[in-house]
Amino acid sequence: MSVTPSNPNTPSKGMSGFGGLSANVNAPVFVPKGFTPMLAGQASTPSTSTAPSTAPTERSATQSTEYDYGDDFHFDYLDDTPYKQPNEITALAPPFVPSSQQTAETYDPAMDTYAHEMGAYYGEEPVYPRQPLQYHLYNPPLPYMTNIPSQSNPFMTDDVREMLQRRSEAIMETSSVDYKLPDELHVYHSLVPIEPPGETRHPRVFQWPSISYKAISAKDGRPYILRRFEGFRLMHEAAFAAISLWNQIKHPGLVTLHEAFTTRAFGDSSLVFVFDYHPNSESLYMAHIKPKQPQQKAGRSQPHAPHLPEATMWSYAVQLADAMRVAHSHNLALRTLELTKVLLTGKNRVRVNCCGVFDVLNFNPAHNVIGFQQNDYMNFGKLLLELACNSTAAATNLPKSMEMVSKRYSPDLTKFILYLITPAGPPKNLDKLFEYIGSRRVLDELNAVSNYADSLEGQLMSELENARLVRLMTKLGFINERPEFDHDPRWSETGDRYIIKLFRDYVFHQVDIHGNPVVNLSHILACLNKLDAGVDERVMLVSRDEQSCLVVSYKDIKSAIETAFSDLSRASAR
């Protein structure tokens, strides 16, 4: 991967390593401005900023980064060139006038034919001045975010954080066992088996022994899954034609296939497929069918649910039906609707894996795509039947299995599964498939996805203000306890820097009446947000020996921090 920055403000080679960081840390300085009445007939005066005059000038630059993805990757980048309005449009465009001024200055009641009718019902609309933003306050969740707790939380919920942390850990995971794997394979490196090798080599589905590895691409630095088929000798180069067709399909219900190649790096003739990597995903077989150890709760064993809820069954059915619709519309067949090849990548979130593998392994120039598509319906029904009966042998005794399904689930689901697994009758089609599913259940799935998107948006909103606190604490770390600056060993404890030191103790080093440390996250968040906003609220700072007591405002402390950090920034740029 090659990165070519084009920033005119790039520091020179002789600059310190922290020189470029100072501009980034200082960039998003939020300074609430006092409002000025903008009523009609009053002259507007510029608002006074609370930022000190010694603060460094804020610079803006557009940094473009180019990545070398190689010849096999084709991405369409959005043009980020600043938009320039044509001269002819600018000449015709009227000057911008705030809506409040348009109401007070340009409105003429004589020109309004409905003024005499509406005047009796509506009085003169008051003009409300815009108040400064309260940057030191956290907003509560919005009402439409129904999955967010009602109380205000400045951080994302624990379950979402744990999920993301586990995925991040899985991406960075390495193996301490030496599997004698090649250091590099095509453009991939750092190969790690993601499944026990003894289990993955069993050729149950593809009739060829295979094993999956997690690897990092040297082109973009992203993790991918390499599924290797051992001892496979490719007889027709035309078999790779299907790879390009599958690579063009980008669908949320399919695991994207990127490329395939042959290699002898493992000491034999192997065929390798490259798929997207979904960390901590598991197959439907592992999630619902494979026996698990009983969970312990309150000292007692808790058995697993005997069968899946019907809402979950319909959710899986809608997602898999849509994935099949996309594949069939491209004149392709999934051919991998199996319990071990459908991945559960999130809560009720399924994706069909290993699409296109059969097209290469069992390549036949005269293959019947329509026949394979009809087999997709049969495999689809068999998958739902096995999930409903919680057994991989459900298809061996259809009458007994369908009787069990009719007892556990609604007649609609029973008829849907029966339609899929029945080989007799006219050829099945997608229209009839979605007719059995019903538009109501498709809309239910859409509503669930929309609610989940609102929930994630609420999680992001809760983390919106936290980046500012990191930049603020970074400035405090640069200033506090600095051993020496400008040949002054006591620089960090003299002048305005002494106020910053006392404020640091006030925020982080408080103790109670018994001398025990006070660990209160709410106090830290409130103080740092008030400091970042520079409010006029005053606070009393006491020295450690209790001989000095200063009463200053958050505005004064912020000014002292900006001045001290500006001195450090100018010194680092020399």
Give how far Cα 48 sits from Cα of 52, 202, 210, 389, 554, Å. Answer: 11, 73, 69, 71, 17
Is the separation of the CB atoms in 327 and 253 below 8 Å?
A: no
- 93: which residues sit within 8 A by CB, 6+ positions away? 85
Q: Rounded CA gap, 370 and 332, in Å?
A: 9
- Residue positions in the annotated binding site? 227, 276-283, 340-341
Q: Rounded CA gap, 551 and 565, in Å?
A: 22
Q: Which residue bears the tokens 């907003």?
A: 139
CA dihedral sign, ordered 563, 564, 565, 568: positive
Helix, strand, coil % (nearest 5) of the chain?
Answer: 40, 10, 50
- Residue positions in the annotated binding site for ATP? 227, 276-283, 340-341
Q: Where are the alpha helices (DSSP H) in 145-301?
A: 158-172, 197-200, 241-247, 284
Q: Where are the alpha helices (DSSP H) in 427-465?
A: 430-437, 439-462
State the angle between helix axes of 369-389 and 310-329 in degrees (0 to 180), rounded to the nearest 10. Answer: 170
Nearest 5 degrees, angle CA 320-CA 399-CA 382? 20
Q: Rounded CA gap, 244 and 242, in Å?
A: 6
- 61: which residues sit within 8 A by CB, 6+ positions away? 7, 8, 9
